[in-house]
Amino acid sequence: MKFPKEFLLGASTAAHQVEGNNRYSDLWAQEQMEHSSFAEPSNDAVDHYHRYEEDIALLAGAGLNAYRFSIEWARVEPQEGCFDESELEHYRKVIRCCREHGVEPVVTLHHFSSPKWLIERGGWEAESTVDYFKRYAVKVVEALGDELHYICTINEANMGLQIAAISKRYMMQMQKAAAARAAAGQAESSVQMGMNLQKMLENRKAAAAESLALFGTENPQTFQTQRTPEGDLLIMRAHAAARDAIKAICPELKVGLTLSLHDLQPEPGCEALAAKEWAEEFTHYLPYIQNDDFLGVQNYTRTRIGPDGQLPMPEGAELTQMGYEFYPQALANVLRAVAKDFHGDLLITENGIGTGDDTRRVEFIRQALAGVQDCLAEGLPIKGYLHWSLLDNFEWQKGFSMTFGLIAVDRANGQTRHPKPSLAFLGSYAAD
């Protein structure tokens, strides 16, 4: 069954993962460290910075009508207070390329990577970041806002708390497990981004010395650092400040953020534990997002909850490259759970699967979209589905080993693009 014509059906990327050569960012600096926790550096990534026209044309050619991408803060403001107008013009060209192909651009202002100078000034635990982020948002919207309809301020604003939780769980597993690497695989699979906890622990002391030289602190507060409760709410205040400033400039522009959300499934008698986890993952943010126009929902799998918290994967479960359980039904369950408390529009900004078998991606999309269509039939205000990801790309600390894309990229042979059958399959759901 096809989606209505006004439904946004497309795919997502993040600047640092696809553009390449993001030299002024915190993650670029960390990738180059001798004792980096990154499996490999991003370097040219998949050169989307120069190939965006080809990539957007492939997306549109499959029948898709929406593309979510991020503007890289470190490009726009490489040094504190110094804005690069040529980079803003680059993103204007990306937006206009979308329009020329009948594609709705959905822009994210911050997708994990930050300017290195921001981290030197305290990063995502520093009060000053609220004003820095607001100033950046204003600059972008003053330049580009009249060409946009949707802006996500911050991607997965709850990521820092999730990382803190899995790090605690990982340490407990380390104490119990005979094989540390096996424990790492289980822990890392519960956060919806590519992490390398084992390498982080092994390199901790040496990396601290390098971080001191690079950032002026042994513990740089990047966006992916374990968040304190205060830092968690600081991120929400940065979002709210940016949202209000954006709406003052462009009142018609729809503004929201995105959250990483799991389908929490409690065993009998464990409902209270699941409710506590849902409060940490979602409901405690409600006061900060109640004035948003939409919520970006990002989901990849479920989490089963037992008396002691998260349960291991079910016996014989199909696992993805990231160690997630193959469970596309999770998306519809999360949408229903979110809609109970958030009454604005819902936009699925990420949902997908890391796999080398594209037939499994096709099946994942088939089941996930069946759930979305059920939710639409139930009256949920879902405005679009943006698959993760348009391209195989740089999966953060995991490097290039994880393949989430609808389009393969042969990085060894001129960065050539090879659309997978899943691209056309997703496009087959678009309105005629």
- How far apart (Å, rounded) are the C-alpha atoms in residues 269 and 358? 38
Q: Give 245-292 pLDDT, tens digit per residue.
A: 999 999 999 999 999 999 999 999 999 999 999 999 999 999 999 999
Are the C-beta atoms of 170 and 128 separated by less than 8 Å? no
Q: What is the pLDDT of residue 209?
A: 86
Among the listed residues 77, 156, 210, 395, the single catalytic one is 156
Q: Give 201-230 pLDDT, tens digit per residue.
A: 567 778 888 999 899 999 999 999 999 999
Kindly state the average pLDDT of the residues 79-96.
Answer: 98
Determine if residue 396 is left, alpha or beta; phi over 0 gives left, psi from -120 to 50 gives alpha, anything else beta. Answer: left
Strands 150-154 and 104-110 come out as parallel
pLDDT at residue 168 tops 80: no
Which neighbouring-strand residues pair with 105? 67
Amino acid identity of 263? D
Alpha carbon of 372 to those of 283, 297, 344, 346, 375: distances in Å?
A: 22, 12, 16, 11, 5
Q: What is the pLDDT of residue 180?
A: 53
pLDDT at residue 192 tops 90: no
Alpha carbon of 135 to those of 86, 87, 112, 243: distances in Å?
A: 18, 16, 18, 11
pLDDT at residue 244 tops 70: yes
Q: Give 357-370 pLDDT, tens digit per residue.
A: 999 999 999 999 99
**In 250-357, alpha helices (H):** 271-281, 286-289, 330-339
Kindly state the average pLDDT of the residues 231-240.
Answer: 98
Kindly state the average pLDDT of the residues 303-324.
Answer: 95
User: Has 315 been annotated as catalytic?
Assistant: no
Are the C-beta atoms of 395 and 46 separated by less than 8 Å? no
- How far apart (Å, rounded) are the C-alpha atoms in residues 282 and 346? 14
Mean pLDDT taken over the chain: 93
Alpha carbon of 281 to those of 26, 187, 263, 310: distances in Å?
A: 25, 17, 11, 14
Q: Which CATH class is domain 8-427?
A: alpha beta
CA angle 79/82/86 to nearest 5° reads: 105
Q: Measured in whole angstroms, how far is the alpha carbon of residue 186 from the centre of its chain?
A: 20
Q: What is the pLDDT of residue 22?
A: 98
Q: What is the pLDDT of residue 201?
A: 59
Q: What are the φ/ψ torsions at residue 42 (nearest 5 degrees)?
A: -75, -35
Amino acid identity of 421? P
Residue 168's contacts (CB-CB under 8 Å, 6 or more residues apart) are none
Q: What is the pLDDT of residue 166?
A: 72
Q: What are the φ/ψ torsions at residue 208 (nearest 5 degrees)?
A: -60, -40
- How far apart (Å, rounded) are the C-alpha atoms in residues 119 and 129? 9
pLDDT at residue 240 tops 70: yes
pLDDT at residue 65 tops 70: yes
Query: What single string gives the DSSP state of each residue in 117-156?
Result: HHHHTTGGG-THHHHHHHHHHHHHHHHHGGG-SEEEEETT
Q: How confident is the model at residue 196 (pLDDT cuts 50, 70, 90)?
A: low
Which neighbouring-strand residues pair with 10? 66, 386
Alpha carbon of 204 to those of 78, 218, 322, 393: distances in Å?
A: 28, 10, 23, 26
pLDDT at residue 325 tops 60: yes
